Amino acid sequence: MIERSQALAALAQDEFDVVVIGGGITGAGVALDAATRGYSVALLEGADFASGTSSRSSKLVHGGLRYLQNFDLGLVREALLERQLMVALAPHLVRPLPLVVPAFEGAHPDRMVGVGLNLYDVMSVDRDRLRSRRGRRSRAGVSAERRSPGRASGEQGIQARAVEGSESWSPERHRMISGEEVLELLPAFSRSSIGREPTSGYLFYDCQTDDVRLVLTVLGEAERFGAVCANRLHVSGLLEQEGRTRGVRALDTESGAELEVRAANVINATGVWADRLRPGELRDEAEMPRIRPSRGTHVILSHEDLPLVGGAIVPAGSGRSIFALPWLGRTLVGTTDNDYDGELAHVRPSSEDVDYLLQAVNDFFGATLDPGDLVGAFAGVRPLISTGDPKKSVDISRKAELYETSSGMITITGGKLTTWRRMAKMTVDRLVERDARDAPCRTHEIPLGQAIAADDLPRVEGVPAESYSALAARYGDAAHQVLALAGERGELAQPIVPGLPDLLAEVVLAARSEQARSIGDVLLRRTRLGLLAARELGGVGGPIDRTADVLARELGWSEERAGLEIERFAAEAQAEGILSA
């Protein structure tokens, strides 16, 4: 991404076709979609990119198996097709993850779960691809590359073909596995204090990602197509001409300067904040949906305390279930789903939610974990949608909602991480229709970054061996930039936290190329160390101090300013409840 100062200059000087408010995954997706259709695009984020809901997900790109219980088949199918497309477009960022539903004491896995997984399998492909795949199985000697003549056309067909050609995709269907195979994927059971041993299970696949890195990669692609993106620009109001939006007023929260960004169209992609922009306009117009925030809490444990190779579906009482997942060398457990009416900028995990998650894990795995065993925790607020009509029954859903108010502002909210591209397409389709343009969506065929194998990265003196695979997974081919920095200054080849793969060179890249402006930007989002190693960050000369030193050199901080930034990060960590020392 271009330097923030350059982005600010362009925003103040140029006039755009579209200004997008919100730098989470939805806003990033809208910016990419619009830019690839030929619109000139500006994107403004009030805090840091992905600092809201988009950094606080369960890190899954998935169909949502539990939505089948509500017969929300359309949402599940849409998400499954997007899941497969993401694997093809960003194989380094979106990776298949084995998941297990175990059974115990000789019992067979729940038959209804098997029915649901069968439906999950079928819904993940279009009919033409399914027929052609069956045909290939029955024709011995026929190449698996051969395609049947009746292939699906259009975007859905492209999705299926993209996945079919992806070597990184998972086995095709769920299957039964033995107790021994369950233990290989979920070795935490071998430590069970109550002797609970699985005897069989269902194995199926979904996908996993680093949600912030996905956002940053989408923003980078949007910029490659001409979008101008800047963070820490709080939109305070709309510019209007004859009652129609013509841009936004924004406050630079760093300098205190105000600026006007002129644009023919305004898109509100601020997630849980969506109904706080022009609330009078939104609430005075009939049938406008209202946002009902829902808090999701996650906890992170060391791999040693709860070792997992694959993920597990964990019963959590009252018919609910949670995930226990391997993630970036740790174990991620979540999520809760509770109504929330607190402050949105910083959402703390509640002690009740933490106890609920640990109780479920302890009961399932026969463990004895308590809050003192956590290495990190986080909570986020999801923008669930309910109808604005009090006469109608409340309808809470994770479907996306798009609406346009009398000023011409288009708002997109709701949805989930997996369906970000569909949400963006829906938004820009409305814009194209309104402008009577001929500009079809292209994002189904645009790669997100460029994948690279860790073995193809150059070796740099001082860089730990385990860092190469982590860099390839986080940056793809752009890992070369990190390694080049590490080669120029030997101290940058060192880990930020000893024993973990994240390098000080990534702090430099974050400041120069990703608009990182604070310690929190680096430790909570550009890397995930604030979540993965929260208790290891403090101490004199520790990771926080080292990060501050690198940022001070890159951003021109004085010694006094660096000290102030350390205090600000301590306050942010406290507000977020990440257990930072």
For 422-442, the pLDDT digits (tens) are 999 999 999 999 999 999 999
Check: CB of residue 311 under 8 Å from CB of residue 334.
no
Among the residue ranges 2-11, 132-141, 554-563, the one predicted with the least confidence is 132-141
What contacts 24+ positions apart, CB below 8 Å, involve 498-502? 500/329, 500/529, 500/532, 500/533, 501/464, 501/466, 501/467, 501/469, 501/470, 501/471, 502/467, 502/470, 502/527, 502/529
Between the CA atoms of 83, 88, 92 and 94, what dihedral angle is there, to the nearest 10 degrees? Answer: 0
| Helix-strand-coil split of the chain, %, nearest 5 | 45, 20, 35
- pLDDT tens digits along 252-297: 999 999 999 999 999 999 999 998 887 777 666 636 667 888 999 9
Contact 431, 267 (CB under 8 A): yes
Domain range 4-55+212-289+387-445, CATH architecture: 3-Layer(bba) Sandwich (3.50)
Q: Which amino acid is at 144?
A: A
Task: Enter the DSSP assignment of 526.
Answer: I
Q: Per residue in 68-93, pLDDT tens?
A: 777 778 889 999 999 999 999 999 99
Q: What is the mean pLDDT of residues 375-390?
A: 80
Q: Name the pLDDT band for 136 (thresholds 50, 70, 90).
A: very low
Amino acid at position 459, single letter: R
**DSSP single-letter state for residue 577:** T
Question: Average pLDDT in the 346-351 region?
Answer: 94
Which pTM does this prediction carry? 0.92
Distance CA 197, CA 63 (A): 29
The CATH code of the domain at 454-576 is 1.10.8.870
Please report the pLDDT score of residue 282 as a whole number.
60
Other C-beta atoms closer than 10 Å to the C-beta of 355 total 13
Nearest to 459 by CA among 499, 492, 495, 493: 493
Mean pLDDT (the chain) is 89
One-letter amino acid at 124 equals S
Q: Are 308 and 187 in contact (CB under 8 A)?
A: yes
Note whether 292-382 and 454-576 share their fold. Answer: no
Q: Of 507, 455, 443, 445, which Cα lies nearest the Cα of 481? A: 507
What integer pLDDT is reported at residue 249 of this predicted model? 98
**What would the pLDDT profile of 200-234 be if each residue is shown by its tens digit?**
999 999 999 999 999 999 999 999 999 999 999 99
pLDDT at residue 166 greater than cutoff 50: no
* Calpha distance 512→488 (Å, rounded): 15
Query: Is it true that domain 292-382 has CATH number 3.30.9.10?
Result: yes
- Going from N- to C-terminal start, the domains of the chain cover 4-55+212-289+387-445, 292-382, 454-576
Please tell me which residue, 567 or 132, carries the higher pLDDT value.
567
Q: Where are the beta strands (DSSP E) in 55-94?
A: 60-61
CB atoms within 10 A of CB 109: 20
